[in-house]
Amino acid sequence: MTLHRDQPIPEPPATTLDCLIVGGGIHGVHVAARLIGEAGVPADRLRILDPGARLLERWRSRTATTGMSHLRSPSVHHLDLDPMSLQRFAGKRTRRTAGLFTPPFERPALELFNAHCDHVEEAFGLAGLHLRDRAVGCAVDETGVEVQLGGGGVVRTDHLVLAMGIGERPRWPDWAPREDPGIHHVFDPGFDDWPVDRSSVAVVGGGISAGHVALRLLSEGHRVELVSRHPLRQHQFDSDPGWLGPKFTMKFHREPDFDRRRAMITEARHVGSVPPEMGRALRRAIARGRLAWREHRVTGLERTTAGLRLTLDQAEALEVDRVLLATGFESARPGGPMIDHLVRSESLPCAGCGYPIVDACLRWHPRIFVTGPLAELELGPVSRNIAGARRAGDRIVEALSPPRRAAV
């Protein structure tokens, strides 16, 4: 079932589904493809619930905002079933035009990756399974799960997959007033308010998104001050590739204490790091005097007649026209009040950090599975990214392939 963009979005189904996936981002879309393609879930008995105008809306808008040209992850990390699918798709489509992949690790161009996402959506008819709404409540009874929709309807399902991601709450530092029109978080929904005049901009943050945004602004002719509270940290990936195999995960899985697992994840993540090629581009821009790098913590901000005045530690200050925050996301458990309520009503187990304690198949309850950040105490530091979606797909397919699907 393939829908074109101008066709109406389907109504909630009247019958009980086999599976409802809450969240139509990287994780929800990949798990949907895996359930249909590998676990034999009939497409008309699966839906993806997401408020976006189309699936993957958030991924597309955020990656476009940064101006990134290529992914950080290798070409085998994508949303289709077969790891070589993206390579094959590129070969067929363009006979390997230069720039489609970049070394090291054959990282795909964003445009190619997104075209391949379209291809996966089409192959599995996923647009036709998209319910454009939000889950606002969720209750489990003896025969299934009932999900209340923000638009007023309900959907009943045998199994629920929670794939809502971490991205609903961009992190706003305390010193940054939300109402000032000169200050934006680059990952706020709908952010597309790039400076058009040649202005001076402070980009706050020290990771890959801050790097992308700073380089984009430089290329558009702005004066850019990159304010980071730490020195430039360089890592190819956001955690060691050893976390994709047994090298590190065996020790992680042997650890029975979930607070210690959380500590292992925190230690393993290269938070606020940039890959080497971006490090080189930033250092080049600094050496040529095009980019000012300020290694400071911002302590305050005030509006003056000239613009915005950032107070930095060690009594430094910075005057700019605009401030763009590239400060990532809040780390609290995703899902908000709906998940808080579900935890209480079903006595779902959580670690000290509030995140789910799940079994090896990512089952939080016999009928409820998790992926993305909600699965990280089982999948480790890669859980949030594309590799994590693939790991989650393996586990959920294992649990929901017949005859196990019928066994709840």
CA–CA gap between residue 258 and residue 63 (Å, rounded): 32
User: Which residue, 195, 227, 197, is CA-closest to 294?
Assistant: 227
Find out whether the peptide bond into 403 is cis, omega within 30 degrees of 0: yes
Contact residue for ligand FAD among 385, 391, 392, 399 (CB under 6 A): 385
Q: How far is the CB of 369 from ligand FAD (least distance, A)?
A: 14
Place of tokens 């798709």: 89
- Applying the rule CB under 6 A, the residues between 51 and 70 that interact with ligand FAD are 51-52, 58-59, 62-63, 66
Torsion of CA 231, 232, 237, 242, to 10 degrees: -40
CA–CA gap between residue 398 and residue 369 (Å, rounded): 12
- Applying the rule CB under 6 A, the residues between 285 and 344 that interact with ligand FAD are 338
**Burial (Cβ within 10 Å: 0-12, 13-18, ≥19) of residue 234:** middle
Contact letters (x/-) for ligand FAD, 149-188, by CB under 6 A? --------------xxx-xx--------------------
Q: How far is the CB of 273 from ligand FAD (least distance, A)?
A: 13
CB closer to ligand FAD out of 312 and 373: 373
Q: How many CA atoms lie within 13 A of 305 on its CB side?
A: 0
At 273, the amino acid letter reads S
> Is residue 209 at the binding interface for ligand FAD, with CB under 6 A as the rule?
yes
Q: How far is the CB of 25 from ligand FAD (least distance, A)?
A: 2
Contact letters (x/-) for ligand FAD, 125-154, by CB under 6 A? ---------xx-------------------
- What the block records as the tokens of 44 is 């008309």
Contact residue for ligand FAD among 13, 19, 21, 24 (CB under 6 A): 24
> Is residue 72 at the binding interface for ligand FAD, with CB under 6 A as the rule?
yes
Contact residue for ligand FAD among 21, 36, 41, 71 (CB under 6 A): 71
> Is residue 386 at the binding interface for ligand FAD, with CB under 6 A as the rule?
yes
> Is residue 380 at the binding interface for ligand FAD, with CB under 6 A as the rule?
no
Instruction: Round the CA-based radius of gyration of the chain to a whole number and report it.
Output: 22
Q: Which region among 32-40, 44-52, 84-92, 394-402 touches ligand FAD (by CB under 6 A)?
A: 44-52
CA–CA gap between residue 236 and residue 244 (Å, rounded): 14
CB closer to ligand FAD out of 312 and 358: 358
> Is residue 23 at the binding interface for ligand FAD, with CB under 6 A as the rule?
yes
CA–CA gap between residue 117 and residue 86 (Å, rounded): 9
> Is residue 277 at the binding interface for ligand FAD, with CB under 6 A as the rule?
no
CA–CA gap between residue 273 and residue 239 (Å, rounded): 10
- What the block records as the tokens of 231 is 């020195």
Number of residues that bind ligand FAD (CB under 6 A): 34
> Is residue 109 at the binding interface for ligand FAD, with CB under 6 A as the rule?
no
> Is residue 120 at the binding interface for ligand FAD, with CB under 6 A as the rule?
no
- What the block records as the tokens of 100 is 């489609």
Q: Which region among 18-26, 241-249, 268-276, 393-401 touches ligand FAD (by CB under 6 A)?
A: 18-26
| DSSP code, position 98 | T
CA–CA gap between residue 261 and residue 264 (Å, rounded): 5
User: Which residue, 150, 158, 185, is CA-closest to 170?
Assistant: 185
Task: Give me the residues that bind ligand FAD (CB under 6 A), please.
Answer: 22-28, 49-52, 58-59, 62-63, 66, 71-73, 77, 134-135, 163-165, 167-168, 209, 338, 372, 384-387
